[in-house]
């Protein structure tokens, strides 16, 4: 994380479009964030889920999983860039009354619970009283690729597009906690969004509440973010602020954050105790039988396992035999930088290194590319696997758990190769 120059209140209001033409965060942002939006083609149903494309406010046409609450998946071709445009960024809410307007003049962020000084911060306070920091980080739903699990599990049947990478700017969570002076005996910090709704009936789940233990290292990397790729957060992605927990699954990235509560007891609310739990087994995998028998210890989901994706060629076009193409994609891990990406042309029997693109930090998408010349006509299959610096390599087996979380099997893409003909 780098500490940019402290920005004045006026500049931040401008950034939000209140005080005139938006101030660019340009100097802080990698040039890729400013690229024009790619043209969309028909969604690739083998890669994405298969809902209709609908444009919600501030959003490009995205794939609808549900519309109440809103859940939208990002089509594959937006992952050709290492930064996902805000307007194409996926959306997931659990409760159906999520905000569609915020009056910033009345809005407050409260920091309370086991603290010596309760804080009630205006948006200006948040922007001007605490140093602004930035981090590039992937936000990925725990259930990304859930539709791959066998046997199928209930929950949103996401393809691979419930993820995105952005540059997040905000105050460090730890700065706020220091200012509030956490009391001895505190054990966890709970986060609450403005959204309300019924949630699973009878579970006290009408508010979305997540928490991090105070001794959790990820807490010290976390931001209370008010900018996403140098712009205000879209309403559907949590305007005006959200928690960013680099390396961890998106369920902790509480949107429309309005309460930070320091707890003196472990958090046993529905969203921590019952939802988003994974088997405490290698890779978080178990079997339907052991899950049904309650034979496996469940723990809260946390960091994201290493994954990589082949973005192009996407299989929508026939490629000529004998002509070289550049195969491109992205990779990331919640356990450290991507150290290596490899591709295979023979279904995983042999692998060769792809070339890694610019390093945007340990929590960001890392682009990769490799030259490939299809030799024979017919259907070719490419596979891609990544290894992170902690030594975790993507396996060629799926996982299974009742929540449908943690999918990270090696991805494959079939491509039709036609005769090259004569030139
Ligand atoms: N307030 C609030 N924050 C939330 C949620 C929610 O339902 N309410 N869902 C979480 C989950 S499970 C995901 S996947 C991400 C989705 O973030 P996005 O909509 O910005 O892509 O938000 C997280 N933060
Ligand atoms: Mo999620």
In terms of domains, do 41 and 186 share one?
A: yes
Tell me, yes or no, whether 170 lies in a domain: yes
The finding on whether 257 has its CB within 6 A of some atom of ligand 1 is: no
| 243 and 319, same domain (yes or no) | no
Instruction: Note whether 412 and 346 are within 8 A (CB).
Output: no
User: Residues 186, 264: one domain?
Assistant: yes
- The burial class, CB within 10 Å (0-12 / 13-18 / 19+), for 253 is buried
The reply to whether ligand 1 has any atom less than 6 angstroms from the CB of 94 is: yes
Same domain, 117 and 262: yes
Report if residue 302 sits inside a domain: no
Residue with tokens 């026939």: 318
Q: Could you tell me the CATH number of the domain that includes residue 347?
A: 2.60.40.650
Residue written as token pair 């009630």: 120
Separation between Cα atoms, residue 258 and residue 98, nearest integer Å: 13
Whose C-alpha lies nearest to ligand 1, atom 5?
93
The model carries a pTM of 0.91
Q: Which of 275, 295, 326 is the last residue of a domain?
A: 275
Cβ of residue 93 lying under 6 Å from some atom of ligand 1: yes
CA angle at 415 for the pair 409 and 421, rounded to the nearest 5°: 160
Domain-located, residue 298: no
Expressed in angstroms and rounded, the spacing between residue 353 Cα and the centre of ligand 2 is: 32
Phi-psi region of 155 (alpha: psi -120 to 50; beta: other; left: phi over 0): left
* Token pair 């579970």 in the structure block, residue: 203
Ligand sitting nearest the alpha carbon of 140 = 1
Domain boundary among 275, 297, 330: 275
Assess whether 311 and 254 both reside in one domain: no
Closest CA relative to residue 169, chosen from 33, 345, 350: 33
Q: What is the pLDDT of residue 198?
A: 84
Residue 324 sits in the same domain as residue 231: no
Is 260 in the same domain as 389? no
Q: Tell me, what's the pLDDT at 229?
A: 98
User: Ligand 1 pocket: which of 57, 163, 255, 304 to mutate (most atoms <8 Å of CB)?
Assistant: 255
Give the residue ranges of DSSP H helices in 170-275.
173-180, 217-221, 270-273
Contacts of 302 (CB under 8 A, 6+ apart): 218, 248, 249, 334
Indicate which ligand has the atom closest to the C-alpha of 139.
1
For residues 191 and 314, membership in a common domain is answered with no
- The first and second tokens of residue 54, run together, are 């609908």
Sign of the CA dihedral running 17, 22, 28, 29? positive
Regarding the beta carbon of 140 and ligand 1, being less than 6 Å apart is answered: no
Confidence at residue 419, expressed as pLDDT on a 0 to 100 scale: 80
Residues 226 and 123 placed together within one structural domain of the fold? yes
> What is the model's pLDDT at position 321?
94
Percentages helix, strand, coil for the chain, rounded to the nearest 5?
Answer: 15, 35, 50
| Ligand 1 lined by 254 (C-beta under 6 Å) | yes
Given ligand 1 and candidates 253, 271, 276, 304, which is best to mutate, with the most ligand atoms within 8 Å of its CB? Answer: 253
Count how many domains the chain has: 2
How many angstroms does the Cα of residue 143 sit away from the middle of ligand 2? 6
Residue 20, pLDDT score: 37
CA proximity to 321, closest of 403, 247, 419: 419
Q: Is residue 299 one of the residues assigned to a domain?
A: no
Q: Which residues surround ligand 2, an ion (CB under 5 A)?
A: 92, 141-142, 250-251
Residue 159 lies inside a defined structural domain of this protein: yes
- The closest-lying atom of ligand 1 relative to the alpha carbon of residue 256 is 1
DSSP sequence for 379-398 = EEEEEEEEEETT--B--SS-
Half-sphere exposure of residue 21: CA atoms within 13 angstroms, side-chain side: 1
Between CA 279 and CA 272 the distance in angstroms is 14
For residue 337, report the phi and psi dihedrals to the nearest 5 degrees. -50, 150
Instruction: List the CATH number of the domain containing 254.
Output: 3.90.420.10
Q: What is the pLDDT of residue 81?
A: 95
- Kindly give the distance from the C-alpha atom of residue 250 to the centroid of ligand 1, in angstroms, as a whole number: 6
**Atom number, ligand 1, closest to the C-alpha of residue 193:** 1
266 and 320 in one domain? no
> Is 263 in the same domain as 335?
no
Rounded to the nearest angstrom, the distance between the alpha carbon of 241 and the centre of ligand 1 is 12
Token output for 371? 């030259």
Last residue of a domain, one of 235, 255, 275: 275
Helix (H), strand (E) at residue 288? helix 288-292
Residue 185 inside a domain? The answer is yes
- Least distant ligand from the CA of 259: 1
Minimum CA distance residue for ligand 1 atom 23: 251
Q: Which domain holds residue 226?
A: 1-275
**Are the C-beta atoms of residues 146 and 59 closer than 8 Å to each other?**
no
Length of the chain equals: 423
Residues 207 and 82 in one domain: yes
Residue 213 lies in a domain: yes
For the Cβ of 89 lying below 6 angstroms from any atom of ligand 1, the answer is yes
pLDDT on residue 25: 54
Q: Please tell me the distance from the alpha carbon of residue 237 to that of residue 233, in angstroms, as a whole number.
A: 6
What is the rounded CA–CA span in Å between residue 170 and residue 60?
A: 25
**300 found inside a domain:** no
Task: Give me the tens of pLDDT residue by residue for the chain, a chain 423 residues long.
Answer: 334 444 444 554 555 544 333 334 545 677 677 665 554 555 555 899 988 999 999 999 999 999 999 999 999 999 999 999 999 999 999 999 999 999 999 999 999 999 999 999 999 999 999 999 999 999 999 999 999 999 999 999 999 999 999 999 999 999 999 999 999 999 999 999 999 998 777 777 889 999 999 999 999 999 999 999 999 999 999 999 999 999 999 999 999 999 999 999 999 999 999 999 999 999 999 999 999 999 999 999 999 999 999 999 999 999 999 999 999 999 999 999 999 999 999 999 999 999 999 999 999 999 999 999 999 999 999 999 999 999 999 999 999 999 999 999 999 999 999 986 554
Q: Which tokens hold the place of 149?
A: 């699990």
């Amino acid at each position: 994380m780098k500490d940019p120059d402290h920005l004045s209140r006026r500049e931040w209001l401008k950034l939000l479009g209140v005080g005139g033409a938006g101030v660019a965060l340009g100097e802080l942002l990698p040039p890729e964030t400013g690229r024009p939006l790619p043209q969309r083609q028909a969604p690739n149903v083998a890669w994405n889920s298969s809902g209709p494309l609908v444009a919600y406010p501030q959003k490009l046409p995205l794939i609808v999983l549900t519309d109440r609450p809103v859940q939208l998946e990002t089509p594959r071709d937006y992952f050709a860039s290492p930064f996902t445009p805000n307007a194409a960024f996926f959306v997931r809410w659990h409760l159906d009354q999520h905000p569609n307007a915020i009056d910033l003049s009345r809005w407050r962020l409260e920091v309370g619970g086991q603290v010596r000084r309760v804080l009630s911060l205006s948006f200006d306070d948040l922007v001007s009283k605490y140093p602004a920091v930035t981090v590039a980080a992937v936000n990925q739903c725990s259930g990304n690729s859930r539709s791959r699990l066998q046997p199928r599990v209930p929950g949103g049947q996401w393809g691979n597009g419930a993820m995105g990478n952005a540059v997040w700017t905000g105050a460090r969570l730890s700065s706020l906690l220091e200012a509030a002076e956490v009391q001895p005996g505190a054990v966890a910090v709970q986060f609450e969004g403005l959204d309300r709704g019924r949630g699973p009936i009878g579970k006290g789940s009408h508010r979305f509440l997540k928490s991090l233990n105070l001794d959790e290292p990820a807490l010290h990397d976390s931001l209370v973010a008010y900018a996403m790729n140098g712009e205000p957060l879209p309403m559907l992605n949590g305007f005006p602020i959200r928690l960013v927990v680099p390396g961890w699954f998106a369920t902790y990235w509480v949107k429309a954050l309005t309460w930070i509560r320091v707890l003196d007891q472990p958090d046993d609310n529905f969203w921590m105790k019952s939802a988003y739990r994974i088997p405490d087994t290698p890779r978080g995998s178990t079997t339907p039988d052991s899950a049904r028998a309650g034979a496996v210890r469940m723990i809260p989901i946390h960091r994201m396992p290493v994954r990589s994706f082949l973005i192009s060629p996407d299989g929508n076009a026939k490629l000529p035999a004998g002509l070289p193409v550049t195969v491109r994609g992205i990779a990331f891990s919640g356990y450290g930088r991507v150290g290596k990406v490899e591709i295979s042309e023979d279904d995983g029997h042999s692998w060769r290194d792809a070339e890694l693109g610019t390093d945007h930090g340990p929590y960001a998408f890392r682009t990769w590319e490799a030259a490939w010349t299809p030799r024979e006509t017919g259907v070719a299959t490419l596979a891609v696997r990544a290894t992170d610096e902690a030594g975790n390599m993507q396996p060629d087996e799926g996982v299974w758990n009742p929540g449908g979380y943690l999918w990270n099997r090696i991805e494959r893409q079939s491509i039709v190769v036609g005769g090259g003909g004569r030139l």
